[in-house]
Chains A and B, each alone.
Chain A
C-alpha cells in the first residue's frame, strides 16, 4: 500500500491490523479464521490456541464485564431520581426501574452546583476551546512540515531535529512562565518585549497553549508523511511555475488529508479531555473554563450530589465516546502516534 493513510510511526508498529481488529472488519476476519478447522494450523494460530480455552474465554469475558460495569454504574446513576440515588445503589435500578433524563436537564440548565446556568456554559466552552485548538496547530504544523521537507534551506535538518527533540518537554515546565507571560507580558530588563495583554476571560491563553504544545508532535508526524509524497509531483508543479504556497494548498494539503484527519481527531480529544491547561489558564471561570475543569472542582467539593455529578460526568463523555465509536480506526492511529504527548 503506497498511500497507506496513516502516520508512519503508527503504521510501523502494525497498528493498522490492531485497529482493524477493533472495528467491524476485524469481526469478520476473526470468525472466518475460527471457523476454518484445518488439520495443520498455521503456527501463529498454534500459539493463540495454547491460550484459547474455555477458561481463557471466560477470563476475557470476565475482564470485559469488569471493565464495563463502572461506566454502566455511572450511566444508570445519572438516570435515576435523586431520592433513589441517595437511598440505594445503582444496581437497585434493575429491580425497581425508574429512569429519566431529569438529572441531565437539571445539571445543564438549573442553578445546580451553585453555578448560574449549570454546566451548559462549560460544555459550550469545551467545544469553543477544542475546535480552534485543533485547527490552529494542524494548519501551522502542516505549513512548517512542508517548509522543512520541501523548501530545504541551510540548517533545515537541524531545525527539524530541534523541534523533534522538544517532545521531551513536559507541559509542566511551561505553565508558570506562560501564565506570567499572558498576565504580565515579557520584559528584558526595563524594555517591554511583549506588553501585558488583558486576556483574562478570553479563550486565547488556552488556545495558544494547546497550539504551542501540539506543535512538536504535529510537525514531526506530518513531516514524516509530507516528506514521503512523490517527488515527481512536486517537481512537475515547480516546472509549471507554481509557487510554494500554491503547491502547499493544491497538492500537499489534499494528499495529506488522511494524516491530517488522524492528527485532528487525536488533538481534538486531547484538548477535550485535558485538565492541566484548562485549570491553569481558565480555572473554574464559567466564561472560559471547559467542563473537565469544572467537574474536577465539583468532584472535590460537592460529591454528595451523585445524581448531578454522574450526569455531568456522562455529559462530558458523550463527545469523546461518539468520536471513539464512529472513528475508531483513525482514533487508534492518532492515539498511538501521540500517546506520549504533553
Chain B
C-alpha cells in the first residue's frame, strides 16, 4: 500500500480525494454487479412460480432474451448499419455510392496502408509460428522446461499497449555521442556502429521492428499449442516410420509435420486474425506515422480522428471481408481437429 504519511500537506489532501474517488467508483461498480444479479434472481424467483403451458416459453424468453437483444443491438444491427454508412459521405448525410471504396482502392496513402497490412499478415504469423514450432520441438526434453515455456509464453498475458511500451524502450534512440538508453542502439554501438539510426523513424525497417512486437507476443502461444499437438501424436505412428528407416529431421518432416498439420494451420490462421485486427501496436508506437500505418489503425483514425464516417466504415467493411474467411476457415479446422481426436 502507498504510504500516505510520506505525502506533504496539499498532496495529502489530493491523496485523500483519490481514495474517495476510488471508493465511489468501486461502490458504483459493486452496485451495478449486485443490482444486475439481484434483478436476475428476483425475475427467476417470480418466473419460477409460473406453471402450465406458459412456463416453457417464459423460460426461453427470459433466459435467451437479454443475450438476443444485446446481440441484435451490438452486432447484427451495427453490422448492417456500417455497410450502409460506407456508402454515405463523411457526415452520413449524403449517398455517395462506391466513392469511399474507390478512395480506398486508388488513393496512394491507402495503398501504403494495404501493403503494410499485407506484410504484417504474412510475416508476423509465419515468424511466430515457425519459431514456436522450433521451440516446441527443442524444449520438450529439456530439464526445467516449465520455466522456459512460462517465460516465453508470458508476453501473451500483458496488453499489446504494455508490450509496445516495452519495445519502445528497446528501440529508443539517442544522438551520437550521448549514452544510449535503448538496448538495440546499445547493441549496435557495442558492435562498432557508432551512430545507429533512430529505429522508429527509419523506413521501411520500422515496420519490421513493429512486427517484432507481435512475434514476441505470439511465439509463446504457438509454442504451447504446438507442443501439446506433438505430444498427442500416437507412438505407433512414429514407431512404424522408424522401422521403415526414418530418423531425425526426415522423421520430423515426413511424420511429425503432417501429423500436426491441422494444428499448425489453426495456429497460423489464429495469429493472422489477431494481426489483422490489432491496431494497438501501431497506435502506441508510431500512431501510424513514418510509413507504418495498417488497416485496423487507419480505420480507427478515419472514424474517430478525421470523423469521416463513410471512409471509416468502408475500411471496416474491408477489414471484415479480410477477416471473415480466415475465421470461418479457422473454426472449420478446429472442428475437424476435434472430430479426429
A residues near B (Cβ < 8 Å) are 8-9, 12-19, 21-24, 26-27, 30-31, 33-34, 42-52, 56-57, 59-61, 63-64, 67-71, 73-74, 77, 85-91, 105, 108-111, 116-117, 120-121, 124-125, 127-128, 131-132, 135-136, 139-141, 143-144, 146-148, 151, 153, 159, 163, 166-178, 181, 203, 207-209, 211-213, 215-216, 219, 243-246, 248-249, 269, 272-276, 279-280, 292, 295-296, 299-300, 303, 306, 309-310, 313-314, 316-317, 320-321, 323-325, 328, 331-332, 335-336, 339-340, 342
Q: Which residue from chain A places its CB closest to the CB of B23 in the assembled complex? A: A124
Is the beta-carbon distance between A245 and B48 smaller than 8 angstroms? yes
User: A176 and B85: CB pair below 8 A?
Assistant: yes
Instruction: List the B side residues contacting A17 at CB < 8 Å.
Output: 228, 231-232
The complex places the Cα of A85 from the Cα of B180 at a distance, in Å, of: 11
Partner of A48, one of B141, B228, B280: B141
Produce 1/0 per residue, B272-288, CB < 8 A to A.
01100101100111010
Q: What are 5 A-to-B residue pairs whose CB atoms are below 8 Å? A: A43-B238, A68-B151, A121-B22, A212-B71, A212-B75
Q: Which of B56, B166, B219, B316 contacts A173 (CB 8 A)?
A: B316
Q: Look across to chain A and name the residue whose beta carbon is closest to the beta carbon of B279.
A: A276
- Known pairs A295-B165, A339-B221; A44 contacts B229 (CB<8 A): no
Are A168 and B324 in contact (CB-based, < 8 A)?
Answer: yes
Q: Which residue of B lies closest to A24 (CB)?
A: B146
Q: Per-residue CB proximity of B283-302 to A under 8 Å, as 1/0? A: 11101000000001001100
Would B32 and A27 count as touching, CB distance under 8 A? no
B161 to chain A: which residues have CB within 8 Å? 273, 275, 292, 295-296, 299, 313, 316
Complex contact B170–A70 (CB within 8 A) = yes
Nearest residue (CB) in B for A318 is B158
- In the bound complex, residues from chain B placing their C-beta under 8 Å from that of A339 are 221, 270, 274
Assuming the A-B contacts A14-B229, A15-B225, A299-B161, are A9 and B56 also in contact, with contact meaning beta carbons closer than 8 angstroms in the complex? no
Contacts A15-B228, A64-B152, A73-B183 given; indicate if A244 touches B55 (C-beta within 8 A): yes
Instruction: Say yes or no: B221 contacts A173, CB within 8 Å.
Output: no
Q: How far is the CA of A67 from the CA of B221 in the complex (A)?
A: 13
Which bucket holds chain B's interface residue count?
A: 35 or more
Taking a contact as CB atoms under 8 Å apart, the answer to whether B71 and A132 are in contact is: no
B144 close to chain A: CB less than 8 A: yes
Closest to A51 in B: B137
Residues of B within 8 A of A306 (CB): 169, 172, 181
Contact indicator B228/A14 (Cβ below 8 Å):
yes
Contact residues of B between 289 and 337, Cβ < 8 Å to A: 296, 299-300, 303-304, 309, 312-313, 316-317, 319-320, 323-324, 327-328, 330-331, 334, 337
B284 and A116 form a contact (CB under 8 A): no
Chain B, Cβ-Cβ closest to A18: B228
| Distance to closest chain A CB from B158 (angstroms) | 5
Please tell me if the beta carbons of A60 and B135 are within 8 angstroms of each other in the complex: yes
Within 8 A of A (CB), among B16-65: 17-18, 21-22, 25-26, 28-29, 32-33, 36-37, 40, 44-45, 47-50, 55-57, 59-60, 62-64
Query: Residue-by-residue, is B59-86 near A (CB-CB < 8 Å gives 1, otherwise 0)?
Result: 1101110111011011111110110010
Q: Does B126 contact A (CB under 8 A)?
A: no
Contact B280 A296 (CB under 8 A): yes
Are A128 and B159 in contact (CB-based, < 8 A)?
A: no
Known: A124-B22, A141-B67, A174-B82. A14 touches B320 (CB 8 A): no
Q: In the bound complex, do residue A170 and residue B277 qualify as a contact, i.e. CB atoms below 8 Å apart?
A: yes
B96, CB-defined interface residue at 8 Å? no
- Chain A residues with CB under 8 Å of B239's CB are 42-43
By the criterion CB–CB under 8 Å, are A48 and B300 in contact?
no
Q: Counting CB contacts under 8 A, is B139 at the interface?
A: yes
Q: A166-B71, A213-B75, A276-B279 are in contact. Are A19 and B55 (CB under 8 A)?
A: no
Within 8 A of A (CB), among B198-229: 216, 219-221, 224-225, 227-229
- A166/B76 in contact, CB under 8 A: yes
B116 interfacial by beta-carbon distance below 8 Å: no
Interface of A, helix, strand, loop or mixed by DSSP? helix
Q: B159's closest neighbor in chain A, by CB?
A: A273
CB distance from A312 to the nearest CB of B (A): 8
Q: How far is the CA of A135 from the CA of B39 in the complex (A)?
A: 14
Q: Given A167-B327, A168-B324, A299-B164, check contact A51 B252 (CB 8 Å).
A: yes
Complex Cα spacing A209 to B71, Å: 10
Nearest 9 pairs between A and B by C-beta?
A212-B74, A18-B228, A12-B338, A273-B159, A43-B238, A324-B157, A177-B78, A144-B67, A174-B78
Residues of A within 8 A of B252 (CB): 47, 50-51
0/1 string, B140-168, CB within 8 A of A gives 1: 11111111111111111111111011111
- B122 at interface (Cβ–Cβ under 8 A)? no
CB distance from B176 to the nearest CB of A (A): 15
Q: Closest approach, in angstroms, between the C-beta of B212 and any C-beta of chain A?
A: 10
| Beta-carbon contact of B138 and A148 below 8 Å | no
**Chain B residues in 8 Å Cβ range of A45:** 141
In the bound complex, residues from chain A placing their C-beta under 8 Å from that of B115 are: none
Q: Which residues of B contact A168 (CB under 8 A)?
A: 320, 323-324, 327-328
Residues in chain B near residue A310, CB distance under 8 A = 165, 169
Which residue of chain B is the closest to A45 with respect to CB atoms?
B141
Judge whether B59 and A147 touch: CB under 8 Å. yes
A57-B225 in contact (CB<8A) = no
Min CB distance A316 to B, Å, is 5
Q: Please give the distance in Å from A296's CB to the nearest CB on chain B.
A: 5
CA distance A323 to B216 in the complex (A): 20
The reply to whether A109 and B63 form a contact with Cβ atoms under 8 Å apart is: no
B186 within 8 A of A: yes
- Cβ contacts under 8 Å, A174 to chain B: 74-75, 78-79, 82
Which residues of B have CB within 8 Å of A109?
A: 2, 7, 11, 14-15, 18
Say yes or no: B280 contacts A89, CB within 8 Å: no
| A172 lies within 8 A of B319 (CB) | yes
User: What is the bound-complex CA distance between A181 and B75, given in angstroms?
Assistant: 12
Cα of A86 to Cα of B178 in the assembled complex, Å: 10
Query: Which B-chain residue is minimally distant from A219 (CB atoms)?
Result: B67
A117 to B15, CA, bound (A): 8
Contact partner of A178 (CB less than 8 A), chosen from B74, B160, B285, B296, is B74
Contact A50 B135 (CB under 8 A): no
